Amino acid sequence: MPVLRVALDLPLHRLFDYVAAEASPADVGRRVRVPFGRGEKIGVIVEVVAESDWPLAQLKEAGEILCDTAPLPDDFFALCAFASHYYQAALGEVILQALPGGLKRMAAPTRRNVRAPAPLAPKPAPELTTEQASAVAAVDPAGGFAVHLLHGVTGSGKTEVYLRLIDKALLAGRQVLLLVPEINLTPQLEERVRSRFVEAHVVSLHSELAEAARERNWRAAFSGEASIVLGTRLAIFTPMPRLGLIVIDEEHDPSFKQQDGMRYSARDIGVFRARQLGIPILLGSATPSLESWANARGGRYGMISLAQRANPEATLPTVRMVDTRRKTLKEGVSDPLIAAIRQRLERGEQSLVFLNRRGYAPVLACPACGWVSRCTRCAANMVLHLADRRLRCHHCGCEHRVPKACPTCGNQDIHPFGRGTQRLEGWLQEQFPEARVLRVDRDSVKSRKQWEAVLERIHGGEADILVGTQMLAKGHDFPKLTLVGVLGADSALFSADWRAPERLFAQLMQVAGRAGRAELKGEVLIQTEYPDHPLYAALVAHDYPGYAATLLKEREQAGFPPYSFQAMLRAEAPAMADAIAFLKAASLLPPVQEHEQVMIYDPIPMKMARLANLERGQLLAESFSRPALQAFLPRWREAIESIKAPSKLRWHIEVDPFEF
């Protein structure tokens, strides 16, 4: 009797065998209902074989094989197998997480009629600059596998390059996958794609779609009916029969890294997928990740540069440091910045004050007894949100009402310390009562609708001063915005996280890029106590390549990625001692001794040691050889699985870890 080998959504590194009298090899790639425990699950058939390793009598019988979609293709399984092996994730979890929810549930969802999106007026393509034209010419959708890094300064018109390449691929009869970091923040891009390709079937795929819509769009991509898929990181797994080009916009963005479950990088999986299919992939950014930059400098990736802004009238903004050591600040704002804002108001232009900290103040404290608003569940302070009078932990989400007096000594005179966007917004409004101040952060903009409304207000000139977090930094054109002021950036200069300078530089370069995108000249003022820091000097010179070279040299000397390869074992438990003891045991397992090219460090508490009542520790494994690390990891993981750990302890391995 035929035996089905079925992938189930379980954190177990094995497949499950079932007998099925009617099954044939043609069923590989189909979904199947199978009994599991006391219930039923939906799995995916990975193999149909004649015999099982188990006695046939012990195998349960599979239920219905679902034929409502075509079988998942071989290249989908190969991609999932690669991800499973590379990230040490269970194959079943990888396969099932790649499917939309509706295909994994028992009951078929009720179908609703779909309203087709309103037809857009087609927008003609603008003329390309010389640089854009050679960028388009450099990528050949029919030329086989190639990775291209498109390094384009802010405003250089990377999107137009994407659109031309998409056009090339469509003309060749191929599908295109365009990945963006956060779809809600990029309604302009989606509109540009749809209005350029009015004839094409464009679908989006991201986690905020309703389940039915996501399933419908996934099916359209899988059947080949949709020719352009615009998605976030999870879309990288979507099976597409005619895929001919992958584009990853803002490839440096941390959102491409999944931070729970299978901790994968959609960019890295994209590169593997392009190689597997023999197609080109384009990675675009004004501030590429150092990994991609090093690959391009080393000749492994092709390098395409857009050094000029696409609009010949728009020059890069002037970046200046405001040395705050010699200035008195009012609510953290210096006189030169206030004067610059006033000047913009008089000229009817917009200003943006960037402070990457939301809330009113990062902490509430009692000067009498030293009480501070700590989160009881995390190693973090509760942030004061005055708008709704709450104390809120930005890590675990727990919140309380703001106390009227100090909970420890009863002192009624408790103060907010430091400042966030709400406080800055209020103060700026007091300073400039005639101005329209608009705060843009995750507290004021929670949905795509709200975000679109905010963009409309900014474009319509209904705001004079924007106060915002990095939400505002991403790829938008605000033609009237001519001033960007940056507050509080210094704190990331000397962070213990060695990736912090790379991130800070990218963030500041992006936010500075908002100024002067049109004919009006832009100016950026960065308040700092370290005006001579090389990071700021590189910003003044708009010198990404120079700063990247400096950082890469530091990484090389310190033996950090991309010059070494890392995996992190993390454990969390109610008591730190248990987490550390577990990690210690993992560091002494036989595979550690047997793989001399892999170095294991001492277990340490994570920087944010407690989260939601769990203590967290980590253990770093590192090697100068990727193959050595990849050979070590599966053996190490298997050995770790056999450690007897306290029942409440959880652990996972993160390959190419991002946060420390």
Query: For residues 475 and 186, is the Cβ–Cβ distance under 8 A?
Result: yes
Q: Does residue 365 interact with Zn ion by CB under 5 A? A: no
Which one of 118-126, 187-195, 387-395, 441-449 is the stretch in contact with Zn ion (CB under 5 A)? 387-395
- C-beta of 322 vs 366, nearer to Zn ion: 366
Nearer to Zn ion, 33 or 400 (CB): 400
Q: Which residues partner with 18 through β-bridges? A: 4
Yes or no: say if 351 and 485 are a contact pair by the CB < 8 Å rule: yes
Least separation in angstroms between CB 408 and Zn ion: 5
Binding segment (CB under 5 A) for Zn ion, from list 174-182, 219-227, 390-398, 464-472: 390-398
CB of 494 to Zn ion, least distance (A): 25
Pick the binder of Zn ion from 168, 395, 423, 514 (CB under 5 A).
395
Dihedral sign computed on CA atoms, order 462, 464, 467, 473: positive
Furthest CA-CA distance within the chain: 85
Confirm or reject binding of residue 405 to Zn ion (CB under 5 A): no
CB 28 within 8 A of CB 71: yes
Q: How many residues form the binding site for Zn ion (CB under 5 A)?
A: 14
Which three-class secondary structure string do you get for 491-531? HHCCCCCCCHHHHHHHHHHHHHCCCCCCCCCCEEEEEECCC
Q: Which residues contact 446 (CB under 8 A, 6 or more apart)?
A: none
The residue from 371, 417, 601, 660 that contacts Zn ion (CB under 5 A) is: 371
Q: Is 366 in the site for Zn ion (CB under 5 A)?
A: yes
Rounded distance, CA 209 to CA 207, Å? 6
Distance, CA of 108 to CA of 106 (rounded, Å): 6
Position 378 contacts Zn ion (CB under 5 A): yes
Q: Contact with Zn ion (CB under 5 A): which of 24, 276, 408, 613?
A: 408
C-beta closer to Zn ion: residue 41 or 395: 395
Q: Are 306 and 135 in contact (CB under 8 A)?
A: yes
- Could you say whether residue 383 binds Zn ion (CB under 5 A)? no
- Provide the minimum distance between the beta carbon of 413 and Zn ion in the complex, in angstroms, as a whole number: 9
368 binds Zn ion (CB under 5 A): yes
- Judged by CB under 5 A, the residue of 104, 342, 377, 436 near Zn ion is 377
Structure tokens at 111: 């179908």
**375 near Zn ion, rule: CB under 5 A:** yes
Kindly indicate which of the ranges 4-12, 198-206, 351-359, 402-410 contains the residues binding Zn ion, using the contact rule CB under 5 A.
Answer: 402-410
| The only residue of 235, 393, 437, 486 in contact with Zn ion, by rule CB under 5 A | 393
The answer to the question of residue 369 lying near Zn ion (CB under 5 A) is yes
Q: Which stretch binds Zn ion (CB under 5 A): 94-102, 406-414, 444-452, 538-546?
A: 406-414
- Residue 626 one-letter amino acid: R
DSSP-derived letter for residue 153 is: -
364 touches Zn ion (CB under 5 A): no
Of residues 15, 34, 161, 406, which one binds Zn ion by CB under 5 A? Answer: 406
Contacts 24+ apart (CB under 8 A), 631-638: 631/595, 632/591, 632/595, 632/597, 632/598, 633/88, 633/567, 634/85, 634/88, 635/591, 635/594, 635/595, 636/586, 636/589, 636/591, 636/592, 636/595, 637/13, 637/88, 638/13
Task: Please say which residue, 372 or 588, places its beta carbon nearer to Zn ion.
Answer: 372
Shortest distance, CB of residue 364 to Zn ion, whole angstroms? 11
Instruction: Look at residues 431, 427, 463 and name the one whose alpha carbon lies nearest to residue 331.
Output: 427
Which pairing describes strands 390-392 and 146-152: parallel, antiparallel, or unpaired?
Answer: unpaired
Which stretches within 368-418 are classed as H helix? Answer: none
Our finding on whether 447 is near Zn ion (CB under 5 A) is no
Q: How far is the CB of 368 from Zn ion (least distance, A)?
A: 5
For Zn ion, which stretch binds (CB under 5 A), given 361-369, 426-434, 550-558, 589-597? 361-369
- What is the token pair recorded at 551? 């950082």
- Pick out residues in 216-255 that bind Zn ion (CB under 5 A): none
DSSP 265: B
| Interaction residues for Zn ion, span 42-101 (CB under 5 A) | none
Q: Which residues bind Zn ion (CB under 5 A)?
A: 366, 368-369, 371, 375, 377-378, 393, 395-396, 406, 408-409, 411
